[in-house]
Structure 1
Amino acid sequence: MSKADDRYRWSPTGTRPRTPARLLAGFGVLAVPVLVVGLWSGGTTAGWFTLGITAAVLGTVGAALPADSRLPRPSGVAPISGAGDVVPGARVLVVGGGYVGLVAARALQVRLGTAGSGRHRRSGPGHSRASGPVGSVTVVDPQPHMTYQPFLPEAAGGSIAPRHLAVPLRRVLDRCDVVTGSVVAVDDARRRAVVSLPDRGTREIPYDVLVIAPGAIARELPVPGLAERARTFRSVGDAAGLRDHVLSRLDAAASIPPTAPDGAERRARLLTFVVIGGGFAGVEVLGEMEDLARRAGRRIGLAPSDMRWVLVEAARRIMPEVTEPTAARVHGHLTRRGIEVRVGTGVASALDGRIRLADGSTIPTDTVVVAAGTRPHPMLERTDLPLERSGKIRCSATLQVLGRSHAFAAGDGAAVPDLARGATLDDEAPEVLTAPTAQHAVRQARVLADNVVAFLDGRPLQPYRHSSAGVLAGLGRRRGLAEIRGLRLLGWPAYAVHRAYHLWAMPTAERKARIVLDWIGAALLGRDPVAPGAVVVAPRQGDDGVEAPAGAATRPSAEPSVSAARSTPRGAPQLRDVREPTPPAAAPGRVIAGDEPALTWIDHGGDDPRDQ
């Protein structure tokens, strides 16, 4: 590759690599105003101002130099010659707009020419579809945005606005063709993909290079009644809906008077929350929701002791991703917060509003959340790509699909050999695979993007090798868990590390800024307890199942009273029972049916207000 094309080497932002000089320049530009304002009051501005200006100038000069630095090659791993035939003006199809798909598409769109089917902006000599390695990039995903799932628990807890976790694909991939639809089949032998569009139409997309990363879906447990009653936790809508649901349960419980018949039983049912799955996802969402409910409950007169939180895990301990001593510390931490941790027992049924466990105990509840793992996307079964026994795509260490040098895969749906844990480069059926975690997805996305560019340029490919440095998790407001190379942290230091790492991994500076502003607002003003998405349907007059209290005065619902007719403005909508038609002699005026079954316009002799 020539030096003129050197600037198109991959980087997380789709521009030149981040050299130390560029980082120094950015630090100097940010640090100078802070130093000037901070040291001005102390009378020592001159020396520090000069030092800051010098750092900024040196960094800017260094940034203007050619960026010869490259991404660090994994230690002990040599490049592999697996580029295959170079296709000029290649049509690249990216299946999945998640983290892997977004990073790969951003890396490829900077290499687009001026011709082709994409919205290409680059112009000038040497940037045509025929001469460039990439002719077009098409991204297909059912949603027009990428969701950063590690921050979903904080969105459910109210620390982050849910929409700020979604990166709009069309805005970031402004030079790619973004297709909102579901891939229903991939015929790799003919290099064609069939996409189902939102309007129920179909579209066939040809490609030369395939990047397939559809991710995973929630694992369905074979428990009677669980699919109908449980809430999943995989998307922005799931996080927002769960938050609104929990807050609406608190409001409903606070609305029940203590003297009401069966009031204590009804309140207990509303204030009991069950989370199934003791892995990272289950523990994180439980910690965030418990903290939100406890703080929101105090504002409406509900004590933390009124609520019941239950974590159910079929294994003998929670959090298999960490060591047993760390899991035991988290178990004790949750217990001290008043959370019941049931380990070694599964869920037998979820019928009749009760969770029945395998040990015979029952839990009456109105809220059940399933966070019991994932499984590969079923779309992979409708392809002719080689699959592993668990349903994942079989890949080599270079993230290429076995036997298909032009196809790449990564993320939760790819069976990637874990070289750091004993797998070898030539092992086509490794027993040790990378875990489906965000840590691997972030790093696999970068290696995949670099390898796709290397494949198109005819250069050697780099194998993926990453030794996990540790794990991070959030357990609620200012509570976290960190296990980094034998160092175990629990509390606010781990929470700070958890937030810093995932903020760094969050794509786009604009989304990072919005998340930081959300954190600042939540820290200064507290979490907003409003649930705008919780809609409580009020009973209408004449609905079945709504009985008037004993001794209460009643009157026929089909005929409005004279006083009501006088106090209601002419032409105003009124509720009436439309299941039994009102006789013409009993009606005070003509009845004009509205759009809603229980909303009618009662005309008291005037003109129809909808005609005005």
Structure 2
Amino acid sequence: MPKILIVGGGYAGFYTAWKLEKWLRRGEAEVTVVDPLPYMTYQPFLPEVAAGSIEARHAVVSQRRHLKKTTVITAKVTHINHAEKKATITPAVGESWDFDYDIVVVTGGAVSRTFPIPGVADQAIGLKTIEEAVAIRDRVLENFDKAASLPAGPERARLLNFVVVGGGFAGIEVFAELRSFASSLLKFYPQLSFDDVEFHLIEAMGRIMPEVSLKTSHWVLKNLAERGALVHLDTQLQSAVDGKIELSTGEKFESDLIVWTAGVMANPQIVRNTDLPIEERGRLVVRPDLRVGTDDEIIADAWGAGDISAVRDLSGGGVGGFCVPNAQHAVRQGKLMAKNIVAVLRGEEPKEYMHKNLGAVAGLGIGVGVFQSGKIAIKGSLAWLAHRGYHGLAMPSWERKLRVVGGWVANFFLGRDIVGITAVQTPREAFETFASRPKPAAKPAEEAPAVKKAPARKSAAAAAEPEAVAASK
């Protein structure tokens, strides 16, 4: 029975395995998914997780719960030797081992792409994982708690200055969601005012959200300005050492939270450790039918999809002629790739991936959103409902859909949960602080020179005792 190895359990990998379970006949192939995390993260929900609108666990999908016929291995693939059809699997605990496969599917996704700007690696946080979104939310709440007990001054301003770097879809969404979140918190902190909280978005280009029209992007800028959020266009971050922000315009201020959303790159742990072909931008070379290779050469039994792959956009709408790295493409590529793998196993021809962009929809905080499809643009509450409706339906499995929508309904009546649990980052701190510890062992006494003891002095009664005995005789 052929062994299919799926490297990565994100959008493309999860959907490939999910659909293979549906379309493979019993005994037709054995599927294994290897990913360092035991869940798939629905990344379009990360801004809402950061803003407290969605419970973090509801924005991830358990691989073991939903991939019932697939072997799930929680580990890293640290090398792919396709010439010998071997992959090195490295778990978090224990020794690495080689996995023999017949077909490999590379869907390792992407990671945050940064630049060597002083302080960014030490101070900033990305927005690619659920853990990062939770940390952002908890930091905002913690900073409000700290600032409320401080007088007006530089330290309080630092705690209430929030910075987002990158004006693409992810950057604008988390920026607007956090602005909405911060505004809603003020009623619980009478010590703080609206003017005490500052939001800065730094974008190197002259516009934001290239996925929408220029007119729509201008509406977003106006809406953000009305909500007290500052957008710095044609501006580069030059330094963030110790949270001290220095911009190319000369402006300087301090911030305790810097969110980096300025681009992604193919997972380097995978593309740098394989003999499969990699193009100049560090992505896997993939044909339109999602097989690895070029028009002239096919790498047999190797497939790729999602953010890690350079797939030509046959619709003509891609950047540089390739599909952009987003969930819309990754999900659809994963579904088609599963069909194509089954087709090739049965001696049939695979189909080419062709998907015309349906448009772009973004949530900008409670009740505010934008939607763009061709020349049609919708703004405001209707676009926000479209955003929630689309992503609510796109969330895989009814179990996850119900949890997300149930949370939205609860928030509508009860409001957002504003409890931050920052101590989860150091869960043993409270226990360690008060835990009893064994007393240190007594050190052996050092040998001292012998000292002659003086004879003990007798009491008066003891001295008189011999005389009394003699008199009685």
CA 1:177 to 1:536, structure 2 compared with 1: closer, same or farther past 3 Å?
A: closer
* Structure 2 partner of 1:95: 7
- The one-character-per-residue Cα deviations of 1:242-278 (angstroms, maximum 9, x if unpaired) are 100001000100011x3xxxx4222111110011111
- The one-character-per-residue Cα deviations of 1:476-521 (angstroms, maximum 9, x if unpaired) are 1111110023111111111111111111211111000000100001
CA 1:337 to 1:594, structure 2 compared with 1: closer, same or farther past 3 Å?
A: same
* Structure 1 partner of 2:307: 412
The 5-angstrom pairing of residues 31-50 of structure 1 reads: none
Aligned residues: 430
Structure 1 position 535, deviation (Å) = 6.9
Structure 1 position 533, deviation (Å) = 2.6
- The one-character-per-residue Cα deviations of 1:209-236 (angstroms, maximum 9, x if unpaired) are 1111000000122101111011111111
* Structure 2 partner of 1:609: none
Structure 1 position 103, deviation (Å) = 1.0
CA contact (8 A) 2:23 2:339 kept: no
* Structure 1 partner of 2:469: none
For 2:180 and 2:438, the matched residues in 1 are separated by: 42
1:293 aligns with 2:182: yes
For 1:110 and 1:435, the matched residues in 2 are separated by: 28
For 1:595 and 1:193, the matched residues in 2 are separated by: 47
1:452 aligns with 2:341: yes
CA contact (8 A) 1:187 1:193 kept: yes
Q: What is the one-letter code of the residue matched to 1:432?
A: G
1:208 aligns with 2:102: yes
Q: What is the one-letter code of the residue matched to 2:386?
A: V
The 5-angstrom pairing of residues 128-277 of structure 1 reads: 129=27, 132=28, 134=29, 136-256=30-150, 258=151, 263-277=152-166
- Select between 430-439 and 452-461 the one with higher mean Cα deviation: 430-439
For 2:66 and 2:37, the matched residues in 1 are separated by: 14
1:519 aligns with 2:408: yes
CA 1:225 to 1:409, structure 2 compared with 1: closer, same or farther past 3 Å?
A: same
For 2:139 and 2:438, the matched residues in 1 are separated by: 28
* Structure 2 partner of 1:401: 292
For 1:596 and 1:165, the matched residues in 2 are separated by: 47
- Of 213, 217, 220 in structure 2, the residue corresponding to residue 323 of structure 1 is 213
> Structure 1 runs of 4+ off > 3 angstroms?
110-113, 534-537
Structure 1 position 112, deviation (Å) = 5.8
1:364 aligns with 2:254: yes
CA 1:440 to 1:194, structure 2 compared with 1: closer, same or farther past 3 Å?
A: same
CA contact (8 A) 2:142 2:422 kept: no
CA 1:471 to 1:112, structure 2 compared with 1: closer, same or farther past 3 Å?
A: closer
* Structure 2 partner of 1:308: 198
* Structure 2 partner of 1:109: 21
* Structure 2 partner of 1:561: none
For 1:110 and 1:432, the matched residues in 2 are separated by: 32
CA 1:536 to 1:186, structure 2 compared with 1: closer, same or farther past 3 Å?
A: closer
For 2:98 and 2:423, the matched residues in 1 are separated by: 40
For 2:438 and 2:69, the matched residues in 1 are separated by: 45
* Structure 1 partner of 2:322: 433
1:390 aligns with 2:267: no
CA contact (8 A) 2:312 2:323 kept: yes
Structure 1 position 297, deviation (Å) = 2.1
CA contact (8 A) 1:397 1:463 kept: yes
- The one-character-per-residue Cα deviations of 1:315-372 (angstroms, maximum 9, x if unpaired) are 1111122221111111111111111100101011111431001111112111111111
> 3-state DSSP class of the match of 1:412?
helix
For 1:526 and 1:574, the matched residues in 2 are separated by: 35
For 1:236 and 1:381, the matched residues in 2 are separated by: 25
Q: What is the one-letter code of the residue matched to 1:369?
A: V
Give 5+ residue unaligned stretches, structure 2: 441-473
Percent of aligned positions that are identical: 40
Give 5+ residue unaligned stretches, structure 1: 1-88, 114-126, 424-429, 541-572, 576-591, 598-612
CA 1:334 to 1:182, structure 2 compared with 1: closer, same or farther past 3 Å?
A: same
Structure 1 position 438, deviation (Å) = 1.6
Structure 1 position 405, deviation (Å) = 3.1
* Structure 2 partner of 1:594: 437
Structure 1 position 110, deviation (Å) = 3.9
1:332 aligns with 2:244: no
For 1:534 and 1:232, the matched residues in 2 are separated by: 20
Q: What is the one-letter code of the residue matched to 2:43?
A: Q
> 3-state DSSP class of the match of 1:294?
helix
Q: What is the one-letter code of the residue matched to 1:414?
A: S
For 1:409 and 1:295, the matched residues in 2 are separated by: 43
CA 1:358 to 1:514, structure 2 compared with 1: closer, same or farther past 3 Å?
A: same
Give the TM-score normalised by structure 2.
0.87
CA 1:529 to 1:593, structure 2 compared with 1: closer, same or farther past 3 Å?
A: closer
- The one-character-per-residue Cα deviations of 1:77-114 (angstroms, maximum 9, x if unpaired) are xxxxxxxxxxxx2110000001111111112224567x
* Structure 2 partner of 1:491: 380
For 2:183 and 2:355, the matched residues in 1 are separated by: 39
- Select between 443-452 and 247-256 the one with higher mean Cα deviation: 443-452
* Structure 1 partner of 2:245: 355
Larger gyration radius, structure 1 or structure 2: 2
CA contact (8 A) 1:245 1:534 kept: no
For 1:187 and 1:194, the matched residues in 2 are separated by: 8
For 1:594 and 1:162, the matched residues in 2 are separated by: 36
For 1:290 and 1:204, the matched residues in 2 are separated by: 48
Higher RCO (Cα < 8 Å, 6 or more apart): 2
Structure 1 position 174, deviation (Å) = 1.7
CA contact (8 A) 1:142 1:180 kept: yes
* Structure 2 partner of 1:374: 264
- The one-character-per-residue Cα deviations of 1:357-409 (angstroms, maximum 9, x if unpaired) are 11111121111111111001001121111111101111111011012131111
For 1:492 and 1:278, the matched residues in 2 are separated by: 22
For 2:241 and 2:320, the matched residues in 1 are separated by: 39
CA contact (8 A) 1:145 1:166 kept: yes
